[in-house]
Structures are given as C-alpha cells and as structure tokens.
Amino acid sequence: MSSASAGKAQIDAQLAWDGVFRDPEWMFKTGLGGMLSAASLVLSAASLMTWPLSIAISAVLAGYVLRVARARIADTNAKLPEWNEWMDLLMSGLSWMAVQFVFNLAVPFSAVALISLGRMAHFMDFNSPYFLPFAVFGILDIVVLSLLINLTLAYLMMNFAVEENMSAGWQPMRVFMQIAKAPKTFLIAWLLGFGIQIIMTVVPVITVIGLFFLPTTLFVGQIINATLLAQAWSSVEPPVSVSQKD
C-alpha cells in the first residue's frame, strides 16, 4: 500500500488494485476489455481499411475508462461500471481521444521547432562546439514536455469524466489549480499510475505466455491508473453523482 497525505488527501494503491478484483463480475468486465483491446490492435495492424473500426473500438475502451474514473471519483469503493450504453462510450471516448491528440501535437511541433532553430544557428553541425549542449537541451526539453503533457492529460481526464462535456477537456488551468491544492498527492497518484501501466506492459512482454494476456493487463492497468487519479481528484473535489448507466 502506498499513501500520500495532504490534508485529508490519501492515495491507496492497494484499494485501487483490489477495486478491480472485488467486483463479482471482474473476470467478465476485464476480459471483455482485454478482448476489445486485442481486437483493436489486430485491426490496426491488418490494413488501413480497418483503422476506422480499430479507432472506434479504442474509443469505446477510452469511454469505459472515463466511466470508471467518474464512478471512482464519486465513490472510491464503487464496483466496476457495466458495459452498456455503447454509443455513449463511443462518443465519450472519441471526444477524449480528440483532446489527447491535440495536446500530444505539442511534442512533435516542439521537436520540429528545435531542429529548425538548430539548423538556422548551425548548432546541428557536428563540428560546432554547441552541438552537444544543444542536443542535450533538446532531448531534455522533449522529455520534460512529454511528461508535463502526460501529467496534464491524466488530470484533464478526471475533469472530463466529471463534467461530461467537451469544454472540460480544454481546461488545463483548472487542472493546475487542482494540483496546487495537493501537489504531493497528485504527483504520487500520477507516478504510481504511470509505473503500474509500465509494469502491466513489461511483465507480460518478457514472458512468452504472458503475451497472450497483454491486452487484458494493459486494460487492467488503465483501470487502476484511472482509480489512483480519481482518488487524488476526489481528495480536493466534492463527490459527484453518477448516472444510472454507470
């Protein structure tokens, strides 16, 4: 168990883990998520013609993770949501994926800007005394920017899940204001969730038999991550009501 305190704020990794498996239908709910994840991966690799279907399935999965976040913000002990209202999952997921896509564009744009600046200033020349420091600065800039965007999107997802409208995905300042209320709690929740998702990816990959379960472990990792983020968000936000469909 891991915890961080900021006022009444607390992150309970054990609770987030147990929250997946104490649901009597956890095998069905996580298994279905794993099957959809596998189908999306297969379709994305099949051909360009199947990409739209792959994106649609990914959107449904994203919509479900948002539904998990909304339920866990309202009640950290809530069971896993039902797989229903598929069109709602699809539209919610597509909206969130659009937000993610736009924010993530900052990374390649920053890389292109740095390369262009380096070329104009001749810092990209191997013979330049500024090549190494410029390269180190560029790499650090991209890494820091990527982490900052990941952190922002993590909690924008919570805001999006609570508000259930597109405008909530474009409120990074609200996210920063929430983080400022309990920075240690928010940071620990984000790092724990990030680490768990890496573990859920690496462990199956390094074992032969585990590869067959990779789509499911990825999905479970997303659920645990959403739960940890929801714990941080709910620590500084009043409980929200959850609709009947959840």
Each residue's pLDDT tens digit, 193-232: 999 999 998 888 787 677 788 899 999 999 999 999 999 9
Give the whole-number percent of the chain exceeding pLDDT 70: 91
Q: How far apart are CA 63 and CA 56, in angstroms?
A: 10
Dump the DSSP string for 134-191: HHHHHHHHHHHHHHHHHHHHHHHHHHHHHH-SGGGGG-HHHHHHHHHHSHHHHHHHHH
pLDDT band at 240 (very low <50, low <70, confident <90, very high): low
Q: So what's the pLDDT on residue 128?
A: 81
